Amino acid sequence: MESLDRQALAGLPERPQLRRLLDVMNGGGEETRIVGGAVRNALLGRSVTEVDCATTALPDEIARRAGEAGLKAVPTGIEHGTITVIVDGEPFEVTTLREDVETDGRHAVVHFGRDFELDARRRDFTINALSLGRDGRLYDYTDGVPDLAARRVRFIGNAHKRIREDYLRILRFFRFHAEYAQGKPDPEGLAAAGHERQGLAILSKERVRHELLKLLVAQRAGETIRILAEHGFLTWLLGGVAEFGRFERAVADMRDGAAPIRRLAALAVLVEEDAERLREHLRLSNDEHKKLAAYARLLAILKTMPLPLNALAVRRLVADHDVETLGVALAATADEPAPVVHPEASETLERFRSGAEPVPVFPLRGADLMAGGIPKGPRIGELMAQARQAWLAEGCRTDGAYASDLLRRVLTAT
């Protein structure tokens, strides 16, 4: 059992914008509380960046109160009873309490309610069912506090029933385990997830993709990915094999904001065909697919390089490829026989990744060649390609003297 941060929890409803929101939404026969992740993360002493609230008030009443207080109300999820209220630039989702009427494994038919306990008991995990009143009182109807202290993710009530209400909860169970738990997964939840796994087939690829990418950036993603594999979930999720060692090495080295898709690359991309398969299997966006394909191409280059990677080779690679993709690829293959990486190469890459040295940019433009007398047309592209190859071979210099000399050589060659 670990101690929880009661002081951080007490300070949550005293945040100026949130305090104003709660003052507007409470009273007159209505009650509004902070719910879900904000309460959980405050108790864990983690940063709270998004705050959701639940209320007895109906959506029209939420909007009316916000408007009378001079606050902007946006019906971002009106079909689910959610109004986003913006207080001094900070958005808060305010949702009317709900009760499930019917579920089919993907969607739920709900009625609005006025009972916070019923609303809590329809949620997935005990640590997600906590709520905090305007007065700082913590409400825990499902023993979420002891589970949080024990760093345990547990379904509310019967795990099979919770999963059958929405089969995505299988993936959420593993994702929350990766983010909040310690030790092995809750046995009852794990058994229920295995027994109900056939229900995953009815989920949209977009929902699966969203949950998987969030899992990949969770705190204990590496351990949890192995648990998924041991229990037969990972092959279904990826539609192919996984590279656990590459994934764990890349995670240890990763630093950029696009980490989820790059982590997926390290885990599941060995060749460019894997990027194509994952695009279809997970309904990836064009940009996400582009990153996976770029990683695959870099892997192919690195694994077939005849010479050790030195500083000059790094300059050439970053000029033609994304810096972070190169960093992930080198981290993922760090303990493998190839590529062989000189210390100077690692130092050079770090300068590019930190911004200490700018990524070299090819110094000529088509306009430069036209100004030198080359007529507009296909010949411009041919000469630019030849010049770029020379630039890469000569170390990717970007100073003005080099650019002038390169242009002269291109014009002379014609």
The mean predicted confidence, pLDDT, of the chain is: 93
Residue numbers of the domain that contains 302: 239-359
Contacts 24+ apart (CB under 8 A), 34-37: 34/131, 34/132, 35/130, 35/131, 35/132, 36/128, 36/130, 37/128
Q: What is the pLDDT of residues 319-350, one digit of tens each?
A: 999 899 999 999 999 989 999 999 999 999 99
Lowest mean pLDDT among 56-60, 147-151, 347-351, 372-376: 372-376
Residue 223: per-residue pLDDT: 95
Q: What is the pLDDT of residues 381-406, one digit of tens each?
A: 999 999 999 999 999 999 999 999 99
Asked if residue 384 and residue 301 are part of one domain, the reply reads no
Global pTM reads: 0.88
Asked if residue 277 and residue 251 are part of one domain, the reply reads yes
Q: What is the pLDDT of residues 163-175, one digit of tens each?
A: 999 999 999 999 9
DSSP strand E in 9-51: where? 32-35
Residue 181: per-residue pLDDT: 96
Asked if residue 396 and residue 348 are part of one domain, the reply reads no
Asked if residue 289 and residue 207 are part of one domain, the reply reads no
Asked if residue 95 and residue 2 are part of one domain, the reply reads yes
Name the H helices within 26-154: 37-43, 59-68, 116-121, 144-149
CATH of the domain at 190: 1.10.110
The answer to whether 52 and 44 are in contact (CB under 8 A) is no
Q: What is the pLDDT of residues 192-231, one digit of tens each?
A: 999 999 999 999 999 999 999 999 999 999 999 999 999 9
Name the H helices within 217-333: 221-230, 234-238, 244-253, 259-268, 272-282, 286-303, 311-320, 323-332
Asked if residue 334 and residue 272 are part of one domain, the reply reads yes
Instruction: Please state, in angstroms and rounded to a whole number, the distance separating the CA atoms of residues 293 and 300.
Output: 11
Question: Among 218, 210, 209, 244, which residue's Cα sits nearest to residue 229?
Answer: 244
